[in-house]
């Protein structure tokens, strides 16, 4: 089964839920959803994406996490290009799908003038941009910390030596984790936390009418959602290793010293 099969990269089409929820909030001028709608959309999309692609790729929907696995030796480097291409195709196709879905609404909202900034800006439907008050350093730190939380959460959910999630619930809990990050850390930058979620739609918008402003806006913000999540992912793994994994006790084969049953752990 190829990592580039439709089933593999269709996992990233879960982002259709996230991007379309942003489109509905922006283009509906607040009458068809609020900030919570966007967070729920991405949480649901991540959950479905994991279910769609988990059987082939292990649900690698995030380039930062994939690269981290390669650096740690958990994934062969020869597989990295296939994973990244699959992620790119899925996210790019998601952006194109949402563009087609809301094509008429986009034209009605912007009068045909697609802009990155201004009162009728719509580029943020597809990719992240920093809030006007956020400095480049502040935005970088926000993306870094949000990705740290993402990795810590994912590792805890799948930690069989600690108190891992029950088998079959990991996808749902990961979606809830993304929802929580959006609820608590989404205001500054829109919480990209994933190069695969941010760059392909940005390239799509550059092609589809927004132009090269998508790469120059926000003091050339585009590189931050690529680098900060990678560093945050590595930091999250390190923190989990130092403060949790090194202190885990081996899982006993059956029962504990008092003869009580051991809580069931999960497998990915």
Q: Tell whether 266 is covered by a domain.
A: no
Closest CA to 64 of 257, 235, 259, 260: 235
Q: Do 115 and 209 touch, CB atoms closer than 8 A?
A: no
Residue 60 has pLDDT above 90, yes or no: no
**pLDDT value for 241:** 93
Residue 145 pLDDT exceeds 90: yes
Domain assignment present for 264: no
Based on the structure, what is the number of domains in the chain?
Answer: 1
Cα angle at 112 between 127 and 32, to 5 degrees? Answer: 60
Rounded to an integer, the average pLDDT of 229-253 is 87
What is the average pLDDT value for the chain, to the nearest integer? 88
| Separation of alpha carbons 178 and 47, rounded Å | 9
Query: Is 190 among the domain residues?
Result: yes
Distances (CA, A) of 68 to 72, 144, 148, 163: 6, 14, 12, 23
Residue 158 domain-assigned (yes or no): yes
At residue 251, the pLDDT reads 59
Band of residue 248 on the pLDDT scale cut at 50, 70, 90: confident
Model confidence at 218, in pLDDT bands (50, 70, 90)?
very high
Mean pLDDT of 18-47: 96
State the pLDDT at residue 57.
56
Q: Is the pLDDT of residue 265 over 80?
A: no
Question: Could you tell me if residue 253 is inside a domain?
Answer: no
Domain CATH number, residue 229: 1.20.1080.10
**Has residue 146 been placed in a domain?**
yes
Distance between CA atoms of 51 and 173, rounded to whole angstroms?
12
Kindly give the residue spans of alpha helices, DSSP state H, lying in 74-223: 80-101, 103-110, 136-157, 170-185, 195-205, 213-220
Crossing angle for the helix pair 136-157 and 63-71, to the nearest 10 degrees: 70
What pTM was estimated for this model as a whole?
Answer: 0.89
Domain range for 81: 6-246
Q: Which of 230, 200, 263 is nearest to 9 (CA)?
A: 200
pLDDT of residue 230: 97
The pLDDT value given to residue 122: 98
Q: In this model, does residue 267 exceed pLDDT 60?
A: no
Q: Rounded to whole angstroms, how far apart are CA atoms 265 and 267?
A: 7
pLDDT, position 14: 85
> What whole-number distance in Å separates Cα of residue 116 and Cα of residue 111?
14
Residue with the larger pLDDT of the pair 163 and 133: 133
CA atoms within 13 A of residue 15's CA, in its CB half-sphere: 31
Task: Report yes or no on 263 lying in a domain.
Answer: no
| Structure confidence at residue 55 (pLDDT) | 61
d(CA 61, CA 54): 9
Contact by Cβ (8 Å): 131, 187: yes
**Do residues 140 and 228 make contact, with C-beta atoms less than 8 angstroms apart?**
yes
Q: What is the DSSP string of 196-233?
A: HHHHHHHHHHIIIIITTHHHHHHHHGGGHHHHHHHHHH
Q: Is residue 252 part of a domain?
A: no
d(CA 138, CA 86): 31
């Amino acid at each position: 089964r190829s990592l580039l099969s439709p089933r593999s990269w269709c996992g990233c089409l879960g982002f259709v839920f996230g991007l379309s929820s942003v489109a509905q909030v922006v283009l509906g001028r607040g009458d068809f959803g609020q900030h919570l709608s966007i967070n729920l959309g991405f949480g649901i999309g991540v959950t479905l994406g994991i279910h769609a692609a988990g059987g082939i790729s292990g649900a690698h929907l995030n380039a930062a996490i994939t690269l981290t696995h390669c650096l740690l030796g958990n994934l062969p480097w020869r597989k990295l290009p296939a994973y990244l291409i699959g992620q790119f195709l899925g996210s790019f196709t998601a952006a194109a799908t949402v563009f087609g879905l809301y094509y008429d609404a986009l034209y009605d909202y912007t009068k045909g003038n697609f802009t990155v900034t201004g009162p009728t800006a719509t580029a943020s439907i597809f990719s992240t941009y920093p809030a006007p008050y956020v400095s480049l350093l502040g935005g970088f730190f926000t993306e870094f910390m949000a990705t740290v939380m993402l990795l810590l959460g994912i590792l805890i959910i799948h930690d069989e030596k600690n108190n891992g999630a029950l088998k079959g619930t990991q996808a749902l809990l990961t979606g809830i984790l993304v929802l929580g990050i959006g609820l608590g850390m989404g205001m500054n930058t829109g919480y990209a936390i994933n190069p695969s979620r941010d760059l392909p739609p940005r390239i799509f918008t550059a092609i589809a009418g927004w132009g090269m402003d998508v790469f120059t806006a926000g003091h050339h913000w585009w590189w931050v959602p690529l680098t900060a999540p990678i560093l945050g992912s590595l930091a999250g793994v390190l923190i989990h290793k130092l403060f949790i994994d090194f202190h885990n006790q081996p899982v006993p084969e059956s029962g504990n010293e008092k003869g009580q049953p051991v809580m069931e752990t999960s497998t990915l």
